[in-house]
Structure 1
Amino acid sequence: MTLPTPPSTSDSPPLPDTSFIQPLPTYTATAQDDLEARIERTPGLELPILQTPTLDYSRPHNPPLKTEQADDAANQDARTLERDIVLAFFTAIRSGHNDLVSQFVSRGLVSPDVTNSGGETPLLAAVCGGNPPMISTLVALGASVNAYGTSYSVDSGRRHRRLRRTPLQLAAQQGRLALVKVLVEDYGADDGLVAPDGYIALRLAAKNGHREIVEYLPARRAGVGLRFKTIVRDEWEVVLSILKKLGHVVKFFVWRVPFFLLYTAPRGLCKSAWRRRHRFGAWCKRAAKGVIKLPSRILKFLREVLKALKRTPEFVKRLAQAALKFLKAIPGVVKSVLLWVGGGLKTAGKAVLHIFALCASLIHTAVLSVLSFFRGITPKDVWDGICYLVKAIFVEAPLALIKFLGTFGEMSYKVLAALFGVLGKVLWYIAQAILYVITWTPKQLWRCVKAFGRLNRKGFNEIMALIDPKRM
């Protein structure tokens, strides 16, 4: 789709100098239009681009003049083109087109430190792609090795967060040892820089379990206080959000429901009755007629009862058919229950056998350590065996039991569906809804407990990292 050429007015900004632009390669950001042609015919470009511009779609309340409309359209076209140029630049970085990246910077279209709409720098994009030649190209073009950019991460609360990182910190966090060595040895990246959340490259590598990078980087203790502050803030945000939800629930049941039942509903009924007070006489008249007709209605009810008694054989037949259908479904139900119990016994048996196997392994390790006088097997191996055994008894076995009990819902659904059909399914869903309401508050409280547990664990790790900076 070809963009319209903006009208030439005396107030229009001058066209940018495009004499330096050479034909770009076939690779462009938009497939419908040629990038060079758009640059040549779009006024108001601010080159080189330092960051992705934000588009303003707001419109004033008063209708603008024609010249103002033309200027707004030209500026909007310019900002859109700038965003497309940045998009093409970052796409070339991720695709590994070194020549195209060099042309974007050398021609003055973008800065080597330009940030995209998410705040990511070109070097961060190259690190994410794991491309050392692209990093070399960007640094040669003037990209700052120690510049911060935005990177996405997932925290312990399963939330996507935007974190500020240098290229070295991101490479250490992702476990890219080759990139870490290139950035430190060839380009002098500073491993002592502290991110806004308190993390340094060493602690990011240790946090994500990248032992080789931890051994490579020098020991540093920077950023401990800021990390403590970040940990407390993040976990406290989780706790506050949970407490806020619980507060809304308590407010609903303790305040809103009683207020509605004791004040809003009676007040509305009284107002409605007062507005309809002129109909009170007619209502009394209808009530009196109803009392007069009561004997005839009782007789009609008795006649209906007699008719129902006459149809009793048909009702008994239907009842017998339903009972027969119920009895036919019992074998299938028994089979489902037996399969469920058998699966539970199988899971429990596996857990018990696993515990016995770990006990035998621990005894074997301890005996070998004594016979070999700790030459082949270290005390750490014995301690690891004890830890595995304790974990199997107190963690894995309870988790297996909980997993087995979690299948009770599926089994009960099959049983109710087989016995009562659609009615059984409806009853199952009603029971699930009631169970969800009952267990919602304990689950939220458990989330609070887990947040405090994470806070204590992370705090303890930071204290230990202060003693041993290379602690994993």
Structure 2
Amino acid sequence: MNFEPGPSHHPDYILRDPNDPPAYDEHGPALPEGIQQIADAIREQNNHDLPILEFPLIRNTLRSAILQQDIVDSFFNAIRTKKDEVVAALIENNIVTPETTDKDGRTPLLAAIEAGNIRTVQELMDFDANINAYGVVGETSEWTRKKGYTKIYRTPLQLAAAQGNLTIVKLLMETYNADDSMIAPDGELALRLAAKNNHREVVNYLPTRRGGGWRRWKAKHHKAMKRTKKAAKSIYQFFRFCLWSVPRFFLWSVPKHLIILPLVLGSRWLWKHGSELPGIVWRWLNKIPQMIWDVLKEVPKFLKECTMELAQMLWHLIKATPKAIGGMVVWLWQGIKSMGTAIGSTVGRLFSFIHTLLFAIVNLFRGLTLQDVWNGFMALLRAVFVDGLKKLWKWLCTFGEVTKDILEKMFGCIGFLVWLIIRGLIELIIYVPKKMLEIFASMGSSIAGGFSEVLIWINPKRN
């Protein structure tokens, strides 16, 4: 479609096609007349009932769907850019409604709250927008083959609480009687969304509400449960492979295809060609002396090539040894540096904690709370038992790559194959314990989440 003015419209209206209805231009005629002209053109051209209730999908009437998509996009763009007069004109002329959703499923109220536009929120409520309507505000990061990405639904009050916009929260609660007890499909309440995002002013304002704990736990730990199920299935498949597939292969498939079937086929051949067997044997016996002589002639050449290859291999090994030793020294030095950094951090945290403790004692805790002392102690423990161990583990995890580089430098492809075999054996040995660890970690996460929900039920306003 070309962007040019239509012959029958005002030149300040810019058209995508001569037959398209005009889009409003702020430099053109008055806004109400322009919006009305667009509505009349859509009705006349597309023969489609207005208002548009949702972002249209492109099906049979491609042209009509594109035009309606442009209208919905313009409507939500006006909400986000705080052009309240455009929003009002589109609704008043029955082109869209206060409940028209965009391509993501977001309602106008949610778009206005995301933009922090209080005036548009009030305007939409004056047009009788549903204050408790759910709309889409995003998607989860987990993808499934059947359902794709799971959408996240929120009410306007829940979104305002999650953003920590106390002004809009008060407006929705006090002026428009928003229901703060509504529970989202994933179990979230307005109060919990504000608490999770550490918006204490909103938490203190909202009334105490309980509910949705089971749904929150289920939604939050669905991924952990899925990981547990996958790990359990992997363990089952591992034992099935080791205890069923491998024995079946060696005790049934190998004897069948290497012994039984060759014997059967050989017996059939002998039954059909038994009279030819003596001649075949005699011809092969006549060829044996020549075959032996050919092999003996190649022995000196073979020994010479083997000697040359062995010498080259030894020379390559001698040249590669310093590089391999250098790689190992670098790896050890990195480990020493990591440990030195961890020890230095620990010592620094220790002196910081001692300083905080002494300062608290000397000043009799004036200007210093017990929370400050506790935070210093926790920082010290974290430096010893978390940061130091993480750096040590990160260094140890590089051992596999270091050994691979050393073996490749010293033995080439053979060294790489040896490394792969060793790595495979190690992975085979630790496979089941690793999967069991995943199961225990997922179960522990779920139990911790359940305990957290119990604490939330006791104190709904906790972080």
Per the normalisation by structure 2, the TM-score is 0.75
Select 2:50's aligned residue among 23, 47, 50: 47
Go from structure 1 to structure 2 and tell me whether the alpha carbon gap of 1:97 and 1:244 turns closer, same or farther (over 3 Å shift): farther
Contact conserved, 2:140 with 2:152, CA < 8 A, in 1?
Answer: no
Question: Please, which moves more after superposition, 140-149 or 172-181?
Answer: 172-181
Go from structure 1 to structure 2 and tell me whether the alpha carbon gap of 1:417 and 1:40 turns closer, same or farther (over 3 Å shift): farther
Matched, 1:143 2:146: no
In structure 2, the partner of 1:124 is: 110
Matched, 1:362 2:336: no
Question: Please, which moves more after superposition, 90-99 or 164-173?
Answer: 90-99
Residue 166 of structure 1: how far off its partner (Å):
1.0
Residue 113 of structure 1: how far off its partner (Å):
1.4
Q: Deviations over 1:341-363 (max 9, x none)?
A: 11111111111122222222222
Q: How does 1:70-469 map to 2 (within 5 A)?
A: 73=60, 82=68, 85-87=71-73, 89-90=75-76, 93-94=79-80, 98-154=84-140, 161-177=150-166, 179-181=168-170, 183-184=172-173, 187-224=176-213, 226-228=215-217, 230=219, 235-259=224-248, 278-281=268-271, 289=280, 293=284, 296-297=287-288, 300-301=291-292, 303-310=294-301, 312-429=303-420, 431-432=422-423, 435-436=426-427, 438-469=429-460
Go from structure 1 to structure 2 and tell me whether the alpha carbon gap of 1:268 and 1:180 turns closer, same or farther (over 3 Å shift): farther
Residue 203 of structure 1: how far off its partner (Å):
1.0
Contact conserved, 1:152 with 1:160, CA < 8 A, in 2?
Answer: no
Residue 226 of structure 1: how far off its partner (Å):
4.6
Q: How many residues align?
A: 430
Rounded Cα–Cα distance in structure 1 between residues aligned with 2:171 and 2:283: 101
Rounded Cα–Cα distance in structure 2 between residues aligned with 1:163 and 1:149: 8
Q: Deviations over 1:413-455 (max 9, x none)?
A: 3223322334444554555555555544434333322222222
Contact conserved, 1:200 with 1:223, CA < 8 A, in 2?
Answer: yes
In structure 1, the partner of 2:16 is: none
Q: Deviations over 1:69-120 (max 9, x none)?
A: xxxx45x765666556545544554565555444443332332212345433
Residue 317 of structure 1: how far off its partner (Å):
3.4
Equivalent position amino acid for 1:344 in 2: G
Q: Deviations over 1:266-310 (max 9, x none)?
A: 677868987897545467757983686257447624642443324
Go from structure 1 to structure 2 and tell me whether the alpha carbon gap of 1:235 and 1:341 turns closer, same or farther (over 3 Å shift): closer
Go from structure 1 to structure 2 and tell me whether the alpha carbon gap of 1:262 and 1:197 turns closer, same or farther (over 3 Å shift): same
Rounded Cα–Cα distance in structure 1 between residues aligned with 2:51 and 2:437: 53
Residue 408 of structure 1: how far off its partner (Å):
1.7
Go from structure 1 to structure 2 and tell me whether the alpha carbon gap of 1:275 and 1:78 turns closer, same or farther (over 3 Å shift): farther
Question: Please, which moves more after superposition, 210-219 or 177-186?
Answer: 177-186
Query: What SS does structure 2 have at the residue aligned with 1:293?
Result: helix
Question: Please, which moves more after superposition, 190-199 or 95-104?
Answer: 95-104
Rounded Cα–Cα distance in structure 2 between residues aligned with 1:46 and 1:385: 67
Rounded Cα–Cα distance in structure 2 between residues aligned with 1:124 and 1:287: 94
Q: Deviations over 1:350-392 (max 9, x none)?
A: 1112222222222222222222222232222222222222222
Equivalent position amino acid for 1:446 in 2: L
Contact conserved, 1:25 with 1:100, CA < 8 A, in 2?
Answer: no
Equivalent position amino acid for 1:377 in 2: L
Equivalent position amino acid for 2:52 in 1: I
Rounded Cα–Cα distance in structure 1 between residues aligned with 2:388 and 2:192: 33
Rounded Cα–Cα distance in structure 1 between residues aligned with 2:207 and 2:155: 17
Rounded Cα–Cα distance in structure 2 between residues aligned with 1:39 and 1:289: 94
Q: Deviations over 1:127-146 (max 9, x none)?
A: 44455455445434433232
Residue 399 of structure 1: how far off its partner (Å):
1.0
Contact conserved, 2:52 with 2:97, CA < 8 A, in 1?
Answer: yes
Residue 393 of structure 1: how far off its partner (Å):
1.9
Rounded Cα–Cα distance in structure 1 between residues aligned with 2:44 and 2:266: 76
Equivalent position amino acid for 1:25 in 2: Y
Equivalent position amino acid for 2:398 in 1: T
Go from structure 1 to structure 2 and tell me whether the alpha carbon gap of 1:314 and 1:359 turns closer, same or farther (over 3 Å shift): same
Residue 240 of structure 1: how far off its partner (Å):
2.8
Question: Please, which moves more after superposition, 106-115 or 333-342?
Answer: 106-115
Rounded Cα–Cα distance in structure 1 between residues aligned with 2:242 and 2:170: 60
Query: What SS does structure 2 have at the residue aligned with 1:47?
Result: coil
Residue 337 of structure 1: how far off its partner (Å):
1.3
Residue 328 of structure 1: how far off its partner (Å):
1.5
Residue 398 of structure 1: how far off its partner (Å):
1.3
Rounded Cα–Cα distance in structure 2 between residues aligned with 1:442 and 1:332: 36
Per the normalisation by structure 1, the TM-score is 0.74
Go from structure 1 to structure 2 and tell me whether the alpha carbon gap of 1:89 and 1:387 turns closer, same or farther (over 3 Å shift): same
Rounded Cα–Cα distance in structure 1 between residues aligned with 2:50 and 2:278: 86
Equivalent position amino acid for 2:358 in 1: V
Q: Which runs of 5+ in 1 are unaligned?
A: 3-20, 28-33, 57-72
Residue 219 of structure 1: how far off its partner (Å):
3.4
Rounded Cα–Cα distance in structure 2 between residues aligned with 1:400 and 1:209: 30
Rounded Cα–Cα distance in structure 2 between residues aligned with 1:346 and 1:253: 43
Rounded Cα–Cα distance in structure 1 between residues aligned with 2:266 and 2:85: 84
Equivalent position amino acid for 2:23 in 1: L
Rounded Cα–Cα distance in structure 1 between residues aligned with 2:83 and 2:266: 80
Q: Which runs of 5+ in 2 are unaligned?
A: 3-19, 27-37
